């Protein structure tokens, strides 16, 4: 039996969980959604006390973690091609006498478990999405036994054990941060792996979220995006034995001094309740941009997808948001070529897009996922038809997105400045609608919301000038804040 010193003693002595001294380099690569970006950061935070320092390059890493996505076949296969590259790196390091460990985390890890090591023997460690807090122990186990696999859904809550980021790590990640408030999904859309890879829906208690948000804000974060696979199903334990909805949680967070922007993603149309609509009506900090996936405009397809809403239900939800906040805009997710989708049913999707008018949207070709009910559906749509439908849908969405972006020209809009842009002298931030906006200005403006008069549009980026004095500006305590090399895209898809 191997006796290990407790983690606190190891930390005091500068030892890691394998009993070795010195700092080691950690490279984490995130695939897929915002939940994975958040999880990757928490894995890095949890390994920091073990002596791991993050690096932006796999070449000099001692530990490589691929945080994977299983939502569509393409996403899952990407991981295996990346593992091929990592195996070559590992072999090259070995030839120089350096040991590199490779870990696979996330939804592919959860779905495929040991099978990953059979397919890619260079992998040392497989860790499911609920077990990241056990990483130090799993690394020790892999060092001792050669391999370690942990894809159980544990009874203890990983959030209670994951290490919080240091103020320095938070600052390095920039002024916009994600906070997971909800995980898993009970909706069981027939095409979707999330209920299997992320498990049953759980909500984090209010106080834990408030503490995490307060800590981020103290370290200079100004925009918080609450994330969850079905975020507006949130129903967290609150003070006095109450249960709070997402709308109530947002209302409370908006009162934390220093927060200037709040967002949330991804929502399910069925779970939009009055508290969320009222939050949009009342809270200036809550950005008027909602990602609300609909998937299809056909009621028959929506029923076979088990979406639990019709196209009209969706239209009514959109109308309620619009009544509450006139400047609100929407994005969505669509699947084309779901089993049995006819041309008329696809046309109903195009008609819905025309009626709603989106600021942007993601569209995907249906991809059968093992273990989901839709994977057993016999009717199929030919690859050629799927391609053609995807092009038609994307052309329509692109035209709506460019019209939306063009309409900004000549207007003065609030921008939260995030970091120095690639172009020397330029600082880039985001509008309320997540459009990147560039100005020539001093880096002192990073962390502030300032009005910008938009002069032009370059592809998806707005270019403008600071408009006079600051409105709603917040003095940044950390004006040299930059985004980490792992650029995050807050509008990336998650679930719902
Ligand atoms: N095939 C294609 N797209 C899918 N999505 C989820 N599962 C599948 C699948 N099997 C899309 C949905 C969801 C987004 C995150 O990914 O549009 O909203
Ligand atoms: Fe849940 Fe969204 Fe997946 Fe449906 S598509 S099962 S709502 S995560």
Nearest ligand 2 atom, CA 192: 3
356-393 per-residue burial string, b: 16 or more CB within 10 A, e: under 16: bebbbbbbbbbbebeebebeebeeebeeebbeebbebb
- The pLDDT tens digits for 166-219 are 888 888 889 999 999 999 999 999 999 999 999 999 999 999 999 999 999 999
CA 303 / ligand 1 centre spacing (Å):
16
Distance CA 214, CA 170 (A): 12
Cα dihedral value 16, 483, 364, 397, nearest 10: 170
**Which residue has the CA at smallest separation from atom 4 of ligand 2?**
189
Average model confidence (pLDDT) for the chain? 90
The two tokens of residue 24 are 């080691």
pLDDT for position 155: 65
pLDDT for position 163: 83
Question: Does the CA dihedral 134-2-53-27 come out positive or negative?
Answer: negative
Ligand at minimal distance from the CA of 291 is 1
pLDDT-derived band at 495 (thresholds 50, 70, 90) equals confident
- The pLDDT tens digits for 379-437 are 989 999 999 999 999 999 999 999 999 999 999 999 999 999 999 999 999 999 999 99
Ligand at minimal distance from the CA of 367 is 1
Which of 267, 307, 334, 495 for mutating ligand 2's site (highest number of atoms within 8 Å of CB)? 495
**Cβ–Cβ under 8 Å, residues 121 and 100:** no
pLDDT-derived band at 22 (thresholds 50, 70, 90) equals low
Distance CA 420, CA 123 (A): 37
Ligand at minimal distance from the CA of 306 is 2
**Cβ–Cβ under 8 Å, residues 435 and 465:** no
pLDDT for position 143: 93
- The pLDDT tens digits for 301-354 are 999 999 999 999 999 999 999 999 999 999 999 999 999 999 999 999 999 999
Distance CA 265, CA 183 (A): 12
Helix (H, G, I), strand (E, B) or coil at 240: helix
Confidence check: pLDDT of 21 > 60 = no
Question: Is residue 209 lining ligand 1, measured as CB closer than 6 Å?
Answer: no
pLDDT for position 157: 74
Residue with token string 């103290």: 218
Overall average pLDDT of the 28-50 stretch: 94
Of all residues in the chain, the percent with pLDDT exceeding 90 is 82
Question: Is residue 230 lining ligand 2, measured as CB closer than 6 Å?
Answer: yes
Distance CA 418, CA 174 (A): 7
**pTM as predicted:** 0.89
pLDDT for position 308: 97
Of all residues in the chain, the percent with pLDDT exceeding 70 is 90
Confidence check: pLDDT of 484 > 60 = no
Ligand at minimal distance from the CA of 339 is 1
**Cβ–Cβ under 8 Å, residues 209 and 250:** no
> By mean pLDDT, which of 92-101, 161-170, 299-308, 486-495 is the weakest?
486-495
Question: Is residue 341 lining ligand 1, measured as CB closer than 6 Å?
Answer: no
CA 170 / ligand 1 centre spacing (Å):
31
Which DSSP string do the residues of 90-132 spell out, in sequence order?
HHHHHHTT---EEEEEHHHHHHHTTHHHHH-TT--EEE-TT-G
pLDDT for position 170: 85
**135 backbone dihedrals φ, ψ, rounded to 5°:** -50, -45
Question: Is residue 71 lining ligand 1, measured as CB closer than 6 Å?
Answer: yes
Please count the CA atoms within 13 angstroms of the CA of 186 that sit on its side-chain side: 10
- The pLDDT tens digits for 216-266 are 999 999 999 999 999 999 999 999 999 999 999 999 999 999 999 999 999
Distance CA 193, CA 59 (A): 33
Question: Is residue 495 lining ligand 2, measured as CB closer than 6 Å?
Answer: yes
**110 backbone dihedrals φ, ψ, rounded to 5°:** -65, -40
């Amino acid at each position: 039996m191997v006796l290990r010193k407790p983690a606190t003693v190891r930390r005091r002595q500068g030892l890691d969980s394998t009993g070795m001294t010195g700092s080691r380099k950690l490279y984490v690569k995130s695939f897929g959604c915002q939940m994975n970006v958040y999880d990757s950061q928490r894995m890095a935070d949890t390994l920091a006390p073990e002596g791991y320092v993050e690096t932006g390059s796999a070449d000099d890493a001692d530990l490589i973690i691929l945080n994977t996505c299983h939502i569509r076949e393409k996403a899952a296969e990407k991981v295996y091609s990346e593992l091929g590259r990592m195996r070559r790196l590992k072999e090259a390091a070995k030839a120089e006498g350096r040991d590199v460990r490779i870990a696979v985390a996330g939804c592919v890890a959860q779905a495929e478990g040991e099978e990953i090591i059979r397919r890619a023997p260079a992998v040392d460690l497989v860790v499911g999405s609920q077990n990241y807090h056990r990483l130090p122990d799993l690394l020790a186990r892999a060092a001792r036994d050669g391999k370690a696999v942990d894809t159980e859904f544990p009874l203890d809550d990983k959030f209670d054990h994951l290490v919080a980021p240091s103020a320095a790590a938070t600052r390095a990640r920039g002024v916009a941060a994600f906070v997971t408030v909800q995980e898993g999904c009970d909706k069981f859309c027939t095409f979707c792996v999330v209920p299997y890879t992320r498990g049953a829906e759980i909500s984090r208690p209010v106080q834990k979220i408030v503490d995490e948000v307060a800590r981020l804000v103290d370290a200079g974060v100004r925009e918080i995006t609450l994330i969850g696979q079905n975020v507006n199903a949130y129903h967290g334990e609150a003070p006095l034995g109450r249960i709070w909805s997402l709308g109530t949680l947002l209302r409370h967070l908006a009162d934390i001094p220093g927060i200037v922007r709040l967002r949330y993603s991804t929502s399910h149309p069925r779970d939009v309740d009055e508290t969320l609509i009222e939050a949009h009506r009342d809270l200036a900090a809550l950005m008027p941009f909602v990602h609300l996936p609909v998937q299809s405009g056909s009621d028959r397809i929506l029923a076979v997808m088990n979406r639990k809403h019709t196209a009209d239900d969706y239209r009514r939800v959109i109308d309620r948001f619009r009544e509450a906040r006139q400047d609100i805009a929407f994005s969505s997710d669509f699947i084309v070529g779901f089993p049995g989708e006819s041309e008329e049913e696809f046309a109903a999707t195009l008609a819905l897009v025309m009626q709603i008018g989106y600021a942007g949207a993601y569209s995907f070709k249906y991809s059968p996922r093992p273990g989901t009910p839709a994977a057993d559906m016999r009717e199929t749509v030919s690859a050629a038809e799927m391609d053609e439908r995807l092009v038609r849908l994307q052309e329509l969405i692109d035209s709506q997105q460019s019209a939306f972006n063009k309409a900004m020209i000549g207007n003065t809009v609030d921008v939260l400045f995030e970091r120095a842009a690639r172009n020397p002298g330029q600082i880039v931030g985001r509008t309320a609608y997540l459009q990147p906006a560039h100005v020539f200005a001093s880096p002192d403006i990073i962390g502030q919301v300032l009005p910008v008069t938009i002069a032009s549009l370059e592809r998806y980026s707005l270019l403008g000038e600071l408009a006079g004095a600051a409105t709603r500006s917040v003095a940044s305590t950390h004006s040299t804040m930059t985004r980490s090399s792992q650029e995050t895209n807050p509008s990336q898809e998650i679930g719902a």
